[in-house]
């Protein structure tokens, strides 16, 4: 396993749509292990493949360290698809490993259902609410080339512009490895 530098705002891969995984082989399993190690090293709750330069439609989640989620087992979602979203929306502060030191209020559906493949290529579905739904939707956004700045109003985006430029030019303090500018 390896800790991989995390891509940050401005890296082109973060705006590219992920490619479906056709088969879960040793290479994919190795990438997933690297993703978990990288995410945990950066103290994240989730990590999408393109955040470490991989193009596959995969993200990993680990909420065990969050109060109320201690029994939640780490999850790998391969080729995830959001199949249901509640009409009820909630706003919450979000951060992102690819946007270090930046937080913004993001409105998202409170409840979702997602279909995905696990590492044994079994199709699974999971219902998520509150934090679980938010983390899934955040990581799913990465796989379709979206990020926090795409989920805020133009006024908020203007206020974030200076911070975004600092991130893009690696002018913020980051305590985990990131890609070079």
Q: Please report where in the chains the tokens 């997933």 appear, as a residue.
A: 32
Task: Let me know if 70 is a catalytic residue.
Answer: no
CA dist., res. 16 & res. 96, Å (int): 17
CB-based burial of residue 83 (10 Å sphere; 0-12 exposed, 13-18 middle, 19+ buried)? exposed
Which of 135-173 are b and which e, b meaning 16 or more Cβ less than 10 Å from the residue's Cβ?
bbbbbbbbbeebbbbebbeeeeeeebeebbeebeeeeee
Q: Answer yes or no: are the C-beta atoms of 64 and 44 closer than 8 Å.
A: no
- Counting every residue written for the chain, the total comes to 181
Catalytic residue among 37, 123, 125, 139: 139
Is the torsion defined by CA of 28, 29, 30, 36 positive or negative? positive
At residue 51, the 3 state secondary structure works out as helix
78's enclosing H/E stretch is strand 75-85
What is the C-alpha radius of gyration for the chain, rounded to an integer number of angstroms?
A: 16
- The set of catalytic residues is 139
């Amino acid at each position: 396993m390896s800790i991989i530098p995390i891509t940050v705002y401005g890296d082109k891969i973060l705006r590219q749509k992920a490619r479906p995984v056709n088969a879960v082989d040793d290479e994919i399993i190795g990438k997933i292990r690297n993703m978990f190690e990288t995410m945990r090293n950066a103290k994240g709750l989730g990590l999408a493949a393109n955040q470490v330069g991989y193009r596959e439609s995969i993200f990993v989640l680990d909420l065990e360290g969050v109060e109320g989620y201690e029994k939640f087992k780490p999850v790998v979602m391969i080729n995830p698809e959001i199949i249901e979203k509640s009409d009820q929306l909630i706003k919450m502060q979000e951060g992102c490993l690819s946007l270090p030191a930046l937080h913004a209020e993001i409105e998202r559906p409170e409840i979702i259902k997602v279909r995905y493949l696990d590492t044994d290529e079994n199709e699974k579905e999971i219902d998520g609410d509150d934090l679980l739904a938010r983390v899934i939707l955040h990581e799913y956004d990465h796989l379709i080339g979206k990020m926090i700045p795409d989920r805020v109003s133009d006024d908020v985006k203007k206020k974030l512009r200076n911070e975004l430029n600092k991130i893009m030019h690696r002018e913020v303090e980051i305590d985990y490895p990131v890609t070079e500018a």
